[in-house]
Structure 1
């Protein structure tokens, strides 16, 4: 890069921002620009820059908004083109660097400059259409007038995809939410925006999804970080196909019902038991607390089911409730996925489930499942071993097993637990139907060549898996060179003992 041009437009009269404040934003933009891919003056670069405007606009519209802004440093031509992107995203976290956020004074000044930049951007947008518009800013009380004008701008542009996110990045669960920060109210104009195809609303006040029922094109909705008492009327009357509930509370309804294809419920507070009535669901993801689930009308074959109860995992599975929790989890799997009714092509489970299902009073009541791809999110702790075996036993048609090692990746041997010795557990001469008849691939993610990883992979190699074709090992992307050499050496060792299959290493 030979030349870097920053085009500072005149500030709005009501924006009293000093040069020090502007420097915060300029420093951030320059740093991001310098990280962008450098383009030389080669013929290839010239050919791209000489394309018609309509093609260049299509190119920048395929980029993220942050990358789109970075193209303004390429040449004078691009300084005007990037303003015509059809996808606009004003995310505070994208525009303010971590160094700015770490300093309260610089953060306050940076937010002022960020909002002033947003104002000036919008004033430069004239007749070109906008498909996607996002505004994401925390502590919105100071900027309610700006937010109101930005929402009005999005409505005037008849956008298809709208994101209104006023959550605080510091929040970890809905218990952290300060209700005084929920000050933005969605105007009636959004509820009447007939062009909307997707909508995300986070950390708003007095939000009522029932008002969205008349939006016939709306297919994807996401609600987060706010009270949501009863979305059932909206879900049953709308044409929504994808629903995400993230850290919502006050869910007093007892049924999630509708024709959604994809449903994701993440760390929400249900006040009552919940019944799922989703006859068309293809992807079902749940993360959060464990309470009685019931399943009424559900799709016979669900492509993907993901169950994550790690919020309950305090590494103490000796509590009096563990037998009951294990029984509830077995009942959940039986009720949702058994070979007498429904099945999931891919089933993803968490360490808590692996620890608890063997502790059920009747763990062997767990019924066989039709699952073909089992994903184990695991620390490979001895407490999880019996749960892994129990699932292998009850997935007789399993074709692919993925072992997704959670951080910290295991390196040293863990101590024995309840008579389970990690050095000898996977040496037992036991195999299950899936190993003998159907299992074709074993995938290990975050592989570093640790002892526990090697023990379980060797178990599948030597357990007589007749159809096993390959073992795929994915190393962490940030693994240092010395550790990579070690991991490669261990993979070569696995290949030497694997005469009938291929061991493949990926440097992800």
Structure 2
């Protein structure tokens, strides 16, 4: 509520914003520790702006224990340097909990960057995130004192380099995330041996190393998200030896990397949703000549088939398994080649499938090899995809589409399957694309209803949202129609129900 005094002889307006004043008064009555906690949750720039409110706020804003500085707002470099220097000089907190720094790396400011990180180490910071950006051939190298910071619990490095002459000693570090970094085998050994308490390790768009040997029983979770190949590399493989690992995730585009699982005997949860690219597609993206012969990439695909066979064997005892579109396509090739698939012991199976590339033959092969599955989740994506030059794989997938699944699947049942959930992810308009995929999803749903003898619930979940292209709720409408059509389909389990959630 604002009041305006129109009787002022000087003919000026006096405005009192009573609502804001009341709010500030109430906040000011909070305990000091709680006010500092609130300020620490704000972006650092906003927290320090509060110092204009009063002298008390000037004191409070210098006591924040979370600091976040980002040079991503087109701020002149000199202004950013001055801003961070000033903020750190005014900081009176005895200990910093979170220190996040995003900066445009330039050699001329090395001393400032080093001083900022020294401040974080001196304040015994527990959670550090560093992101540098700039020239691909000039990467920021961590200063030496960082490698012995004993207070670190989580560390996230983006486009940084490690000093190969320094031995790492992060005795308290539990989580390490490395993004867009070049690492060789010695770097990996240094990281793992110097982080004995490490529990979670993530590589995102990294490259360089060829073996990941994890001997610590503390490290339980490994995530590999996308992969980049160096131009000089001949060996496009990564070996993983991790006998104590319990959670493994490999996702994103990994080009033509062959990720080999040597020992993952303790795995409980495995997520393999990555996509391998055909060498023909890689040649096309890099501007090279593409051999049009259909079978020119046969050996290339056969090598990946062998890798997938090994995956299935190594993952046969996991409890929770997630499989992506690319792996179901390889499973289709295995099925057509009459290669036996080992029985899987998983109880919870998730399929992350692309509607445009939904391969029923591969999916059915996987389900047939999974008689212990109790819960099946199918996450259907509808994003746009690039066209492939690989006619060898396309020919196999076309053969898989011609398999009469009703006859083939009539010979087996899903004896343990109790719950099925189909969920759609964000994507493109269904009216212009994916009709074959929609038909396949309906066929798969019918097979599940008919062959799941103890099925209890069949969920179809779709978030209601307006399509930008057709201006209708096309995705949700389709999934509602799918649920309605399934109501009239035969079911093996008389106790099963079909539920639509929007």
- Contact 1:166 / 1:202 at 8 angstroms: preserved in 2? yes
- Give the 3 Å change call, closer, same or farther, for CA 298–484 of structure 1 in structure 2: farther
- 2:223 maps to 1:223: no
Deviation of residue 474 (structure 1)? 3.3
- Give the 3 Å change call, closer, same or farther, for CA 215–116 of structure 1 in structure 2: same
Aligned-partner Cα distance in 1 for 2:486–2:49: 49
Aligned-partner Cα distance in 1 for 2:158–2:66: 19
Partner of 1:18: none
- 2:248 maps to 1:291: no
Q: How many residues align?
A: 435
Partner of 1:405: 381
Larger Rg, first or second structure (1 or 2): 2
Partner of 1:136: 102
Partner of 1:346: 321
Deviation of residue 156 (structure 1)? 1.4
Deviation of residue 381 (structure 1)? 3.3
- 2:167 maps to 1:211: yes
What CA deviation, in whole Å up to 9, does each residue of 1:150-187 have, x standing for no partner?
1111111111112222245xxxxxxxx722x11x3322
Deviation of residue 438 (structure 1)? 1.0
Partner of 1:494: 482
- 2:415 maps to 1:440: no
Extract unaligned runs of 5+ from structure 1.
Answer: 3-38, 97-106, 169-176
Structure richer in strand, relative to its length: 2
Extract unaligned runs of 5+ from structure 2.
Answer: 3-17, 283-293, 387-393, 488-495
- Give the 3 Å change call, closer, same or farther, for CA 384–326 of structure 1 in structure 2: farther
Deviation of residue 378 (structure 1)? 2.8
Deviation of residue 365 (structure 1)? 2.3
Deviation of residue 310 (structure 1)? 4.2
Aligned-partner Cα distance in 2 for 1:311–1:325: 13
- 2:231 maps to 1:261: no
- Give the 3 Å change call, closer, same or farther, for CA 489–323 of structure 1 in structure 2: closer
Partner of 2:499: 503
Aligned-partner Cα distance in 2 for 1:272–1:359: 22
What CA deviation, in whole Å up to 9, does each residue of 1:104-155 have, x standing for no partner?
xxx4x54443333222221221234211112122333343222111111111
Deviation of residue 440 (structure 1)? 0.4
Aligned-partner Cα distance in 2 for 1:427–1:68: 62
Mean Cα displacement is larger for which, 140-149 or 39-48?
A: 39-48
- Contact 1:136 / 1:164 at 8 angstroms: preserved in 2? yes
Q: 1:415-426 maps to which residues of 2 (within 5 A)?
A: 418=398
Select which of 116, 123, 129 maps to 1:150: 116
TM-score computed with the length of structure 1 as normaliser: 0.71
Partner of 2:275: 309
Aligned-partner Cα distance in 2 for 1:330–1:426: 23
Aligned-partner Cα distance in 1 for 2:438–2:159: 42
SS of alignment partner, residue 112 of structure 2: helix
Aligned-partner Cα distance in 1 for 2:327–2:221: 22
Deviation of residue 196 (structure 1)? 1.3
Partner of 2:14: none
Partner of 2:353: 378
TM-score computed with the length of structure 2 as normaliser: 0.72
Deviation of residue 496 (structure 1)? 3.1
